[in-house]
Amino acid sequence: MLGTRPIRHDGFDKVTGRARYGADLSMPRMLHGKILRSPHAHARIKSIDTRKAEALPGVKAVATADDFPILEDQTIDFAEIRGNARMLADNVFARSKVLYQGHAVAAVAATSPHIAEEAEGLIEVEYEVLPTVLSWRDAMKEGATLLHEELTTRSIKAFLDPGGDGHEPSNVSFHLHFANGDVDSGLEQSDCIVEREFSTQPVHQGYIEPQASTAWWSPDGQITIWTSTQGPFSIRSETALILGLPESQVNVIPMEIGGGFGGKLDTYLDPVAAVLSKKSGSPVKIVMSRKEVFEGTGPSSATYLRCKIGATRDGRITAAELYQVYEAGAYPGSPVGEGAMTSFAPYKVDNLRVDGYDVVCNKQKVAAYRAPGAPATAFAVESVIDELAAKVEMDPIDFRLKNLSREGDRMPSGARHVHHGGVELLEAMKAHPHYQAPLEGSNRGRGIAIGYWFNASMQSSATINVNVDGTISLITGSVDIGGTRVAVAMQAAEVLGLGAEDVHPSVGDTDSIGWTGMTGGSRTAVDTGRAAIEAAEEVIRQMSERAALLWEVEPKEVTFEQGTFICAKDTTQHMKFKELAARLPELGGLVTASVASSPQKAAPALAGNLADVEVDLETGKVTILRFTAFQDVGRAAHPSYVEGQMQGGSVQGIGWALNEEYVFDQNGQMANASFLDYRMPTCLDVPLIETVVIEVPGDSHPFGMRGVGEVSIVPPMAAMANAIHDATGIRMTRLPMAPGAVLEALDGNG
């Protein structure tokens, strides 16, 4: 039953170690792969000599970019993502230039990991080191060194029409522009205007399990890949494209996944393992080290934002302006669009202007990270909103309520809002004991912030097989990251009148289940749940036909209520689901139903935070005293996992706010590529995260569910900054707000 807390189906396997992750796979004759990565952030590859590595006993194959086809420079839809095919391949293996320290240039497969590592060190690469373009500021300077000589700036129009509208080569790959109303006129009507600049640094998703992939290119030309991924169908598409093969030749088997948060949507190892397998004639497994994860995969974008908002004395926003620059890393594709779309989305702003720039530089190609793009803009907008509320002498929650967007209002993109639970969220925050509690002591402050995420919507597939004992087997294409396996199973059980324990859910490979979008975008429990619901409804239809045979009536005269089939002509004739399942073999055989569900829209989500902090004025250390997370979830299928998502996103946001960042030296070398030096929060750094689940049903799901996985990370950075300001009077405008940065701000140098 929805709203209950059954034990998750995969819980026993995971706590006992029976669950198999990518690195657990072992096969006969399996080889171990290792990738050679560039020590330079920007260099031309003059030559690669692999002869010494090939001669080492135990080495069975060596691969470079020459073993891959040269792809056309074209934009293609890779299942869940759009991108440039050639650049996607170049990120997997550098062909002519390396564009970041850690960029893959060659790979070996050997009979042991130790031999592979030794062979990797024998590969000789001659580089011509080029000037490093390490930040968006360097990249946008007049006369800046170009990363891609053929790259020109596109607008939204050119993005939709690949014919393009840029002419001069540039490190700015994309310019986004949203505009509604008359911003200049709106600002003239303002009684108070606040304008500030903000910046953030790249941060890592922090998943526990490194990337791991095993490939077997069999003699008949079929490739099987066992991998740790959030999107098996996108891995199939990308791998086939990079190898110049039809997708039908690639089967991706997703393993259990030890975290992803968006960072395991892209391919890094899969095509390389496949080529090494083809050359060696054996399966090849590659597992990244933690250092490789930091240096060879994608973090979030570093950003620069300039936010300007005007309001009247009575607290009505009259105009807003946002200038934003997102670093894409080595290849185009930052979440600048998502940042722009969510920036002012919580508020009704009739006059707004948003300009966003996607800029390449000599850092790792960025990847998605939980509500990609939105945390940075929320940090800027919510900080300015808080300052504006103080200037017009309004309670910060009342100010937000007065300006909150409603159904039908325009979002920054121009699309109209659908119904959301923003009012209920803010009212719950204001009524909560945390907001009402006095905050005593010196250098202590309370901050609030809210955040918006639109949630994604994609096709999902599900198959239900009815078993003779009245249980069902549920197969979907969605990898389980945060309890979605049980959440989807509960929805099927709800329709069929079964208990969650009567459903046996599993994740299929790309050959055995219909196309399914990524596990990401806060869509899985909702979209794949909808597919499971539709499959369950098809099961009811088929089983109603079997009951009609039994009772010698028309199928339309059989109804199904609360797990029971009932004959409308004679209500004394009825059978429970399990009873009819037992009779199916004699009524034509067991029932199977397969569905591909393609939803047309998603229900957005809003979250809010209350944060109490204490700032040590001598050290700059920020201690969190209390933290409460609020979220409109539509309807909670499994409240424990909803609360877990809220707590997890909050802790990640706190880490982003106070500690986490990629640190580079002037040559583009990452200085903190380990969990020892990359400072993520531990249980000693955060209090118990209190959660308040608000249920305002969305209209895009049969049970009113909304995606819950991402919006929780959007408000924490701004909430922490606003709390620090309340404690010290200092407005922090750059992340992370680490002790050194806080001290600089207190000294007037921040």
pLDDT tens for 412-452 read 999 999 999 999 999 999 999 999 999 999 999 999 999 99
In this structure, are 128 and 265 located in the same domain? Answer: yes
pLDDT higher at 83 or 670:
670
Look at 75-89, 357-371, 595-609, 661-675 and tell me which has the smallest mean pLDDT: 75-89
Q: Is residue 644 included in any domain, yes or no? A: yes
In this structure, are 377 and 424 located in the same domain? Answer: no
Q: Is residue 682 included in any domain, yes or no? A: yes
In this structure, are 190 and 61 located in the same domain? Answer: no
pLDDT tens for 194-238 read 999 999 999 999 999 999 999 999 999 999 999 999 999 999 999
pLDDT at 82 over 70: no
Per-residue HEC secondary structure of 578-632 comes to HHHHHHHHHHCCCCEEEEEECCCCCCCEEEEEEEEEEECCCCCCEEEEEEEEEEE
State the total domains in the chain: 4
pLDDT at 77 over 70: no
pLDDT at 467 over 70: yes
In this structure, are 227 and 347 located in the same domain? Answer: no
| pLDDT above 70 as % of the chain | 97
559-597 burial, b if ≥16 CB within 10 A, otherwise e? ebeebebbbeeeeeebbebbebbeebeebeeebebbbbb
In this structure, are 305 and 186 located in the same domain? Answer: yes
Domain boundary pick from 246, 274, 296:
296
pLDDT tens for 598-632 read 998 899 999 999 999 999 999 999 999 999 999 99
In this structure, are 395 and 314 located in the same domain? Answer: yes
pLDDT tens for 96-143 read 999 999 999 999 999 999 999 999 999 999 999 999 999 999 999 999
Q: Is residue 401 included in any domain, yes or no? A: yes
Q: What confidence category does residue 72 fall into, taking pLDDT thresholds of 50, 70 and 90? A: confident
What pLDDT score was predicted for residue 87? 94
What pLDDT score was predicted for residue 155? 83
What pLDDT score was predicted for residue 80? 46
pLDDT at 157 over 80: no
pLDDT at 164 over 60: no
In this structure, are 500 and 576 located in the same domain? Answer: yes
Q: Is residue 3 included in any domain, yes or no? A: no
Give the predicted TM-score (pTM) of the model: 0.96
Q: Is residue 212 included in any domain, yes or no? A: yes
In this structure, are 610 and 724 located in the same domain? Answer: yes
Q: What share of the chain is helix, strand, coil (3-state, %, to 5)?
A: 30, 25, 45
Q: Is residue 716 included in any domain, yes or no? A: yes
In this structure, are 428 and 551 located in the same domain? Answer: no
Least Cα distance to 375 among 174, 700, 660 occurs for 660
Segment 343-362 shows an average pLDDT of 98
Domain boundary pick from 577, 597, 617:
597
Average pLDDT over all residues of the chain: 96
In this structure, are 447 and 484 located in the same domain? Answer: no
- Tally DSSP H helices, then E strands, for the chain: 21, 28
CATH number, domain at 326?
A: 3.30.365.10
pLDDT at 750 over 70: no
Domain boundary pick from 544, 570, 597:
597
In this structure, are 228 and 265 located in the same domain? Answer: yes
What range defines the domain where residue 530 resides?
460-597
For 302, the token pair is 């570093």
Distances from the Cα of 720 to the Cαs of 372, 389, 425, 612, in angstroms? 19, 17, 19, 8
Q: What confidence category does residue 360 fall into, taking pLDDT thresholds of 50, 70 and 90? A: very high
Q: Is residue 412 included in any domain, yes or no? A: no
Q: What confidence category does residue 378 fall into, taking pLDDT thresholds of 50, 70 and 90? A: very high
pLDDT tens for 543-597 read 999 999 999 999 999 999 999 999 999 999 999 999 999 999 999 999 999 999 9
What pLDDT score was predicted for residue 160? 46
In this structure, are 331 and 475 located in the same domain? Answer: no
Alpha-carbon torsion angle 503, 507, 510, 516, nearest 10: 80
